[in-house]
Structure 1
Amino acid sequence: MRKILIVGAGQSGLQLALGLQSQGFEVTLMSNRTADEIRSGRVMSTQCMFHTALQHERDLALNFWESQAPRIEGLGVSVAAPGSHAAPGGTQRAIDWVGKLDGHAQSVDQRLKMAGWMETFAQRGGQVVIHGAAVSDLDFFAQRYDLTLVSAGKGELVSMFGRDAARSPYDAPQRALAVAYVHGMGPRPEHPEFDAVRCNVVPGVGELFVMPTLTVTGRADILFWEGLPGGPVDVFQGVRDPQEHLALTLDLMKTFLPWEYERSADVELTDANGTLAGRYAPTVRKPIGRLPSGGLVLGVADVVVANDPITGQGANSAAKCAASYLTSIVEQGERPFDAEWMQATFDRYWQTAQHVTKWTNAMLAPPPEHVLNLFGAAGQLQPIADRFANGFDDPSDFEHFFFEPEKADAYVASFTG
């Protein structure tokens, strides 16, 4: 029985641990927090997962909350008219549409999911070590395992993995992030009959995402601001009081997105740990880390490919990475998990991840004219809206109609003649 150590108990680490466990591997999971500490801690992300990522969970029978979480059946985009928030009467929408998803999406608070998965892993005989690992700790532990995987996306361990400059065009954060989980959100005035994620774009200011979720206190909505650094939304640094965080969130909505503010008038935080703020530079790293003793470790998910959450791909990519790595590990059989295998395992995942990185980095830049034209056409032509929405599940499709003006124009012309 091959012995595997996984450091980090997030979407990728736990999904991979449970998957390997089901295949008969002896798996040790190292986490810096217990399941109870995770469940009672601060929210960690927004985690709207689309069909392919959800299917990876179903394949391992880990979709414990699927019947409870809201079924997200659409994805809407609104673009505020340039400069209109400065005018009397507030912001107007230049673009507004909702695309339908082929397969539903869902968001389950990671406090619920990671705590539940960790308890399941332990109940099935997996060893859980509660320890915040430094590189020196890992050097000691890794010698006892056939393979060590690092899926803890923050902290000292990430420094073992060198930045891949050719794949990382940004060296600084491109957005200031601020999340609030709330109860009491009113229904969307358009298509209230089904749940949808809303992406509201304020050119030159940032984006606000609104998404239904299942949290520790039941059904809720997530208000997620992505502000341009130094701009009017970049005001959450240093805010420690959750109520002040919520008040800032709502005040910015009132100023820039009155149509979302109108249905948020009566919201309250789901719990005292229902807010999160921060920023990080989107970075692709080399997948193999070398320990002081010479041993090798393999980076997982956002340790090696960390994208800005503007395209909502973090948890999706983590699930896809875990599924890809699981296949590669099982296929390796009794052969060694050497550097060549590690690089090939990452390269296999990169075939999927490269599309996410390209699309996400494009969305961080001001939209070029052909993309604005696409957004506008989606408001008139439902198939374009639907295709854009489903690109969140399969970002490789954007290669065919999104990046290049010629392809975008030809795609729109195929409807309009």
Structure 2
Amino acid sequence: MRKILVVGAGQSGLQLALGLQSNGYEVTLMSNRTADEIRSGRVMSTQCMFDTALQHERDLQVNFWESQAPRIEGLGVSVAAPGSFDPGPSQRAIDWVGKLDGYAQSVDQRVKMAGWMETFAQRGGQLVIHGAAVSDLDYFARTYDLVLVSAGKGELVSMFGRDASRSPYAEPQRALAVAYVHGMGPRPEHPDFDAVRCNLVPGVGELFVMPTLTTSGRADILFWEGIPGGPLDAFKGVKDPSEHLALTLELMEKFTPWEYARATKVELTDANATLAGRYAPTVRNPIGRLPGGGAVLGVADVVVANDPITGQGSNSASKCAASYLDSIVEHGDKPFDEEWMQSTFDRYWDTAQHVVKWTNAMLGVPPEHVLNLIGAAGQLQPVADRFANGFNNPADFENFFYEPEKTNAYLASVSGV
């Protein structure tokens, strides 16, 4: 039986560990926190997982919360009208909702990671609660057939060099601020189904609102992405959760009054329901070389970390875990050498490259043809639906998003011009 070590217990690490376990591998999982510490700790992300990523969980039969989590059937886009931030519908230059072919869902990672970790242990997996250092991996690389690093922060990431050719940004492009709340009212435009709302405030940033399942049941996530140095870049040094929520709502009232109107009665879900930070989107080399000569393979955020503006983090982690699992199982008893590690990453990059291209494009100032596309979605429902479903399959944006000629041809074909 081949022995595999997975370092890091997030979406990718746990999904991969559970998948390997179900395929008969002897798996050790290292986490720097226990399941109880994760469950009672601070929120970790704004995960909204679309159909393809959810299917990977169904395939492994670890979709334990699917019947409880809200079914997100649409994705809405609003663009604030330039220059005026008074309440009322005139404040939105664009407002539409695209319907998803397959529903999306969000499960607070505190719920999911704690549950998955307990499941892994109950199924006989070796669970080690210990923060790993590079020196630890030097030893483990000699005692395991394969070491996978899925801990996306801290010392271990430094083993994986930045791939400058695939990383156009050296600095963070958004300041991030998250709050999980109860008491959010429905959107009057679609009271009969749940949708993720993407609110774009040109030159300022973005507000995302998404339904989720948290430790205390159904909730909503309020997520500001602020352009650094701008008015939304205001959360640095805010430690008190209630102050964080008050600032979130103050900014909503000013920049997205249509969302604030349904948030006047919200309260935080718990004392650890806020998060703020920033990081530079980065693609790294997939192979980490150890001082003793061994090699380890980076997973998900370790090797491809995108800004969350397109909501792809947990989706990419799930897709990476599924791709790596296939590569490991197909490799049989052959050694997991550096050539295999590189080809395994390259196989995942076939998918990941589309996420990187789209996310980096969305961080910049949108060109005229993209503004035209987003505007046309308000009049042409098929355009809204296709844009929404691009969140599930970002590769489709190649066909109608990046080049003015393709965008114009697509819009002409839909409108019948």
Shorter-chain TM-score tier: over 0.9
- TM-score norm. by structure 1 comes to 0.99
Query: What does 1:169-188 correspond to in 2, within 5 Å?
Result: 169-188=168-187
In 2, Cα distance between the equivalents of 1:91 and 1:413? 27
1:154-193 matches, within 5 Å, as 154-193=153-192
The residue identity in structure 2 corresponding to 1:41 is G
Q: Secondary structure at the match of 1:48?
A: coil
Tell whether 2:28 aligns with 1:28. Answer: yes
Whichever residue aligns with residue 212 of structure 2, its letter is T
Match of 1:50 in 2: 50
Deviating beyond 2 angstroms after TM superposition, the runs of 4 or more aligned structure 1 residues are 87-91
Q: How many residues align?
A: 416
Q: Which residue of 2 aligns with 1:68?
A: 68
Deviations 1:190-223 (A, max 9, x none): 0110000000000000000000000001000000
8 A contact 2:88–2:258 mirrored in 1: no
Q: CA offsets, 1:231-259, max 9 Å, x none?
A: 00000011100000000000000000000
- Written as runs of structure 1 = structure 2, the 5 A alignment for 1:139-158 is 139-158=138-157
- Aligned pairs for 1:127-276 within 5 A: 127-276=126-275
Within-5 A mapping of 1:335-346: 335-346=334-345
Aligned match of 1:315: 314
Deviation per CA, 1:125-173: give whole Å up to 9, x if none: 0001001111111112221100000000000000000000000000000
Structure 1: state its 5+ residue gaps: none
2:411 paired with 1:415: no
Residue 79 of structure 1 corresponds to which residue in structure 2? Answer: 79
SS in structure 2 of the partner of residue 56 of structure 1 = helix
- Which letter does structure 1 place at the counterpart of 2:46? T
Partner of 1:97: 96
User: What's the secondary structure of 1:220's corresponding residue?
Assistant: strand
Contact 2:89 2:258 in 1 (8 A): no
- Partner in structure 1 of residue 6 of structure 2: 6
- The residue type equivalent to 1:16 in the other structure is L
1:34-73 CA-to-partner distances (Å, cap 9, x unmatched) read 0000000000001100000000000000000000000000
1:15 matched residue in structure 2: 15
* 8 A contact 1:56–1:319 mirrored in 2: yes
Q: 1:124 maps to which residue?
A: 123
- Once the two structures are TM-superposed, the CA of residue 415 in structure 1 deviates from its matched residue by 2.2
1: distance between equivalents of 2:202 and 2:87? Answer: 18
| Equivalent position SS for 2:9 | coil
Q: 1:64 to 1:93 in 2, by over 3 A?
A: same
Q: 1:355-383 deviations in whole A, cap 9, x for unaligned?
A: 00000000000111000000110000000
- The aligned residue for residue 291 of structure 1 is 290
Distance (Å, rounded) in 1 between the aligned partners of 2:61 and 2:212: 20
3-state DSSP class of the match of 2:407? helix
Give the structure 2 partner of residue 306 of structure 1. 305
Structure-1 separation of matches of 2:235 and 2:318: 29
Assess if the C-alpha contact under 8 Å between 1:185 and 1:221 holds in 2: yes
Extract unaligned runs of 5+ from structure 2.
Answer: none
Find out whether 1:385 has 2:384 as its counterpart: yes
Q: Distance in 1 between matches of 2:381 and 2:370?
A: 16
CA distance in 2, matches of 1:20, 1:31: 17
Letter in 2 for 1:196: A
CA contact (8 A) 2:88 2:257 kept: no
Q: Tell me, in whole angstroms, the C-alpha distance in 1 between the residues paired with 2:196 and 2:40.
A: 26
TM-score, length of structure 2 as denominator length: 0.99
Give the residue type in structure 1 aligned to 2:330: E
SS of the residue corresponding to residue 102 of structure 1 reads strand
Identity of aligned residues (%): 84
Question: What is the match of residue 40 of structure 2?
Answer: 40
Q: Name the CA distance, whole Å, in 1 between partners of 2:289 and 2:190.
A: 52
Cα distance in 1 for residues equivalent to 2:352 and 2:224: 24
Measure the CA separation in 2 of the matches of 1:225 and 1:89. Answer: 21
How far apart are the structure 1 equivalents of 2:122 and 2:128? 14
Counterpart residue type for residue 214 of structure 1: L
